[in-house]
Structure 1
Amino acid sequence: MAEHFDVLIIGAGLSGIGAAWRLQEQLPGKTYAILEARDAIGGTWDLFRYPGVRSDSDMFTLSYPFRPWREPESIAPGDKIRRYIEETAAEGGILPHIRFGAKVATASWSSADARWTVGLADGSSLTCTFLYGCTGYYDYATGFQPDFPGISDFSGTLVHPQFWPEDLDYAGKKVVVIGSGATAVTLVPAMAGDAALVTMLQRSPSYITVLPSRDVVADALRRVLPAGAANRITRAKNIALTQGFYQLARRRPARVRKILRSFAVKALNDPAYVDEHFNPRYDPWDQRLCVIPSGDLYEAIKSGRAEVVTDHIDTFVPEGIRLRSGRVLEADIVVSATGLSLLPVGGVRVTVDGAPVEVGEHAAYRGIMLSDVPNLAYCIGYVNASWTLRADLSHRYVMRLLKHMDRHGYAVAVPENPGGQGRPLLDLSSGYVQRALDKFPRQGDRDPWLVRQNYIRDVVITPRADVTRDMTFTRRPAPAPMEEIAS
């Protein structure tokens, strides 16, 4: 007989460890396990090991609200974030509940048994009453790689950031980084210190904003207040600033465009260069803004160790990349920072009573559950703010739902499909999002099927949201009479 748990959590990254902490805190009697496909804690922060990898959100909002961020950096390197997640798991007594190397392949719901059977890639299985997917939305096995013309002719080394070789030596080499997103603007200044020249090759510019590596307000507060109090105040300040800036960008995009341009002009002191390479065609926050801590990308450009080229690739050639303009960018190493592939619920094949669940054909209930799928939740963060802000609200909502089910003797909770599906769940024009729209659930046209990108609103409403709205519950079967058992 398969081992049974009240709750199974998929993924031991930032979300999975946070979910386990909330489960132990609010429902200490529940049995649970975390199923982690890899051999280490950290999720995204264990997967990505390219030079300079770091947060693109401040750590006072990306960290857990129940465990203050104590490091000096506000924009932190990946190894410190990974260590923070590991220390949280150890401090919370979560480590014994993690099953490493446990890649979930299938999840099959049985209405007759009111439970999930979770099949692992090694052929073993477990069962649970409630399943919580905390896998993020990146495809860990596959990054997005365009089919560049002439790629087989290139005599140098081609690298994808998601699969960075530990032994890659770029000292004194000419490096071309293809892309203009968060990964590219991180890699360029990180590699520029050792490489002969790093060129960021982009088809079109992205919006970039500068944030300080350290938060002076947090530093001042830490000197006079306990860590928890200082963290809460800094967190509130940063939430207000980021949400205010997002709302301004959506309402006054031309004004925000001017603000961001002024930052770049001030840093580079070259308006023509800024207008050529840092002047996107889209409005701010149609795609996520790229953060450069303390202006490190601009500093690398000014020093001559890095450059930006805005052009299209004609073809790869043995010595590098020939552009449509005719220029050839010589390269020993080309880094294809061209984006990621997205995958809902970690690519788990889900069935309900034998019928396959196509996630993209379902509606998103509060951005946490799927219409017509029982006892299954998933965790998705904000696109305009730190992932953890929304993740922790989702954890707390799931705990409230489980408490409600226990209180009333319910075995099953199923969001009822409202019809009228509307906007995509991830409402960004970024290429990596657009390529995967059909894989993810869509929003409905009313609450609780709308997924707003507004933490200040959500933090007020979600903890008080009616867990019974548009939800069908089924009670646990009554125990069989003794005479039936005897017979």
Structure 2
Amino acid sequence: MAEQQTDFDVLIVGAGLSGIGMAAHLTEKCPGRSYAILERRGNLGGTWDLFRYPGVRSDSDMHTLGFDFEPWRHEKSIADAPAILDYLHRIVADRDIGPNIRFGHKVISADFDMANARWDIVAETEDGERKRLSASWLYLGSGYYDYDEPYDPGFATERFEGQIVHPQFWPEDLDHAGKKVVVIGSGATAVTVVPAMAARAAKVTMLQRTPTWMFARPAKDSIANFLRRMLPEQTAYRITRWKNMKLQSLAFKRARTKPQKMGEALHKRIEKVLGENFDAEAFTPPYDPWDQRLCLVPDNDLFEAINEGRAEIVTARIEAFEKDGVLLSNGRFLPADIIVTATGLKLCVAGKIAVSVDGEPVDFAQRFYYKGCMFSNLPNLAVVFGYLNASWTLRADLNSDYVCRVLNHMARTGADMAVPVLPHGHGLEEDDIFDFSSGYIQRSKHLMPKNATRYPWRLNQEYLVDRKRMASEPITDGILEFSRARQDQGAAPEMAAAE
């Protein structure tokens, strides 16, 4: 891409799963549209390039975390970060997306000019230079968490003389061989880090304040691998993808309708592996299955590490950090050379970009979601926030396809703007945007956009329902309004945020 080019049809923020997916959809479905991807880091991959902690892997199967247009070819369905990066690099290479990526460009602000129907974007390069770009559409594939700052639970660690690391900023030179390690946390990151570090550490203790529901499954999908040998690649992928989507949906619904039976089933699978080492208290949270996201244990790796004595799970609160370990509220002391604070992420909205319309700041917490893709009374902007109860990329595919259809409709009709219009006095009944009790969700609800009880003004957590609606419902639904720029029509109605 010529460095001097600054004006585009679509500007995509982020070269992770969401951004690469949108670029691939544009390439296929809107081939005449110009676009650029602005990526703040020096590599593509987003989360999968940022996180470098031991064992980093997907916690969803790659037949649904992969895109609908690109089959997953690796033998393992639960894949590590290098395999996921290989997948993304292949997509970028095959579709010639690479020349459209500008690395080292952090988007600072984006202001929509109603008179010209253009986004004016300011990006900062790695050397501190500010650059201005413009685009008709802004597509935010910047993820859901703060890349700069993880969640800080406020631990008083001053007395500890060992090394403290957070998984989000893993040091390249950390040597844990033969060391005593305490991993604080019980979520997906902790469940991944503990067995990976246990392979070389003297002992790894997962210290949890409260347990998490866990389920085990093989890293390899035997049915998927069988189908790949017997059928054309794309056909095998579609069948496996549909199978896994249905299983995800059924499991989630069963957990919500029969939580006790689901809990018993999860316990039985763990007890089968741990045998006499099974402690029900360590695996029984004070909430029902799928009130928070289940933690995946591929190939029973965590449970095998416990059986072999290389890892243990301790449930207790922290009393104090001492110079050589952690003192617990029950009086037990955990010696440690290294403490890993797998205490969670800090959510943010729109990648912390200062978004505005004609200079007026946009408060996303005062906007309603529209079809889980756009926002009330905000023109020419789309975003991806993936499913909490299924794979992130399922929504990324839906939203990318939808935006491409909107762009094509605009091209056919000569429209410059597409706005989901929500009038004042709309009477929408608000709903809990995330019916999940996870700490990182609850801490950030005040930042999140609004959710209505009825579609389309909501962010659903039902992929199969969303898939049908997004594909079958017309673009011109009476809510998404198309118009020309103000300079072409003299004046346009105000697009104020819904109160």
TM-score range, shorter chain: over 0.9
**1:26 maps onto 2:26 in alignment:** no
Q: 1:455 aligns with which of 463, 477, 484?
A: 463
Alpha carbons 1:174, 1:332 under 8 Å: kept: yes
What is the distance in 1 between the residues matched to 2:328 and 2:93?
Answer: 51
Moved over 6 A (4+): 477-480
**1:96 maps onto 2:99 in alignment:** yes
- Give the deviation of 1:377 after TM superposition: 0.5
Q: 2:482 aligns with which of 460, 470, 473?
A: 473
- Give the deviation of 1:175 after TM superposition: 0.1
Q: Determine the structure 1 residue equivalent to 2:219.
A: 213
What code does the residue aligned with 1:45 have?
Answer: W
- Give the deviation of 1:478 after TM superposition: 8.1
Q: SS in structure 2 opposite 1:262?
A: helix
- Give the deviation of 1:414 after TM superposition: 1.3
What is the distance in 1 between the residues matched to 2:419 and 2:262?
Answer: 42
What code does the residue aligned with 1:116 have?
Answer: W
Alpha carbons 2:8, 2:35 under 8 Å: kept: yes
What is the distance in 1 between the residues matched to 2:469 and 2:483?
Answer: 26
Structure 1: runs of 5+ lacking an equivalent: 481-487
**1:162 maps onto 2:168 in alignment:** yes
Q: Determine the structure 2 residue equivalent to 1:230.
A: 236
- Give the deviation of 1:473 after TM superposition: 2.1
Q: 2:430 aligns with which of 422, 434, 443?
A: 422
Q: Deviations over 1:432-472 (max 9, x none)?
A: 11111111112113221132211222222111223233222
What code does the residue aligned with 2:255 have?
Answer: A
Q: Determine the structure 2 residue equivalent to 1:177.
A: 183
What code does the residue aligned with 1:467 have?
Answer: I
Alpha carbons 2:52, 2:170 under 8 Å: kept: yes
Q: Determine the structure 2 residue equivalent to 1:484.
A: none
Alpha carbons 2:115, 2:487 under 8 Å: kept: no
What is the distance in 2 between the residues matched to 1:462 and 1:300?
Answer: 44
Q: Deviations over 1:178-235 (max 9, x none)?
A: 0000000000000001000000000010000111110110111111112211111111
* Compared CA separation, residues 336 and 421, structure 1 to 2 (3 A): farther
Q: Determine the structure 2 residue equivalent to 1:12.
A: 15
User: Is the deviation greater in 446-455 or in 192-201?
Assistant: 446-455
Q: 2:131 aligns with which of 118, 124, 140?
A: 124
What code does the residue aligned with 1:465 have?
Answer: E
Q: SS in structure 2 opposite 1:244?
A: helix
Q: SS in structure 2 opposite 1:140?
A: coil
TM-score, normalised to structure 2, is 0.93
Q: Determine the structure 2 residue equivalent to 1:387.
A: 392
Q: Determine the structure 2 residue equivalent to 1:338.
A: 343
- Give the deviation of 1:477 after TM superposition: 6.3
- Give the deviation of 1:165 after TM superposition: 0.3
What code does the residue aligned with 2:214 have?
Answer: I
Alpha carbons 2:368, 2:458 under 8 Å: kept: no
Q: Deviations over 1:271-304 (max 9, x none)?
A: 8x43220011101111000001011100000100
Alpha carbons 1:424, 1:437 under 8 Å: kept: no
Q: Deviations over 1:61-81 (max 9, x none)?
A: 111111111111010001110
Q: Determine the structure 2 residue equivalent to 1:201.
A: 207
Q: Determine the structure 1 residue equivalent to 2:493.
A: none
What is the distance in 2 between the residues matched to 1:478 and 1:152?
Answer: 60
- Give the deviation of 1:427 after TM superposition: 3.1
- Give the deviation of 1:476 after TM superposition: 4.7
Q: Determine the structure 2 residue equivalent to 1:56.
A: 59
What is the distance in 1 between the residues matched to 2:110 and 2:308?
Answer: 53
- Give the deviation of 1:113 after TM superposition: 1.4
Q: Determine the structure 1 residue equivalent to 2:446.
A: 438
User: Is the deviation greater in 9-18 or in 452-461?
Assistant: 452-461
Q: Determine the structure 2 residue equivalent to 1:42.
A: 45
What is the distance in 1 between the residues matched to 2:99 and 2:429?
Answer: 41
What code does the residue aligned with 2:464 have?
Answer: I
Q: Deviations over 1:82-107 (max 9, x none)?
A: 12111111111100000100100000
What code does the residue aligned with 1:106 have?
Answer: S
How do 1:14-413 and structure 2 match up within 5 A? Answer: 14-121=17-124, 122-149=129-156, 151-270=157-276, 273-413=278-418
Alpha carbons 1:13, 1:41 under 8 Å: kept: yes
Q: SS in structure 1 opposite 2:154?
A: coil
| Aligned-pair Cα RMSD in Å | 1.5
What is the distance in 2 between the residues matched to 1:232 and 1:2?
Answer: 38
What code does the residue aligned with 1:26 have?
Answer: K
Instruction: Say how many residue pairs are matched.
Output: 478
What is the distance in 2 between the residues matched to 1:313 and 1:419?
Answer: 47
Once the two structures are aligned, what percentage of the paired residues are identical? 50
Alpha carbons 2:180, 2:338 under 8 Å: kept: yes
What code does the residue aligned with 1:438 have?
Answer: H
Q: SS in structure 2 opposite 1:232?
A: helix
- Give the deviation of 1:403 after TM superposition: 1.4
Structure 2: runs of 5+ lacking an equivalent: 490-499
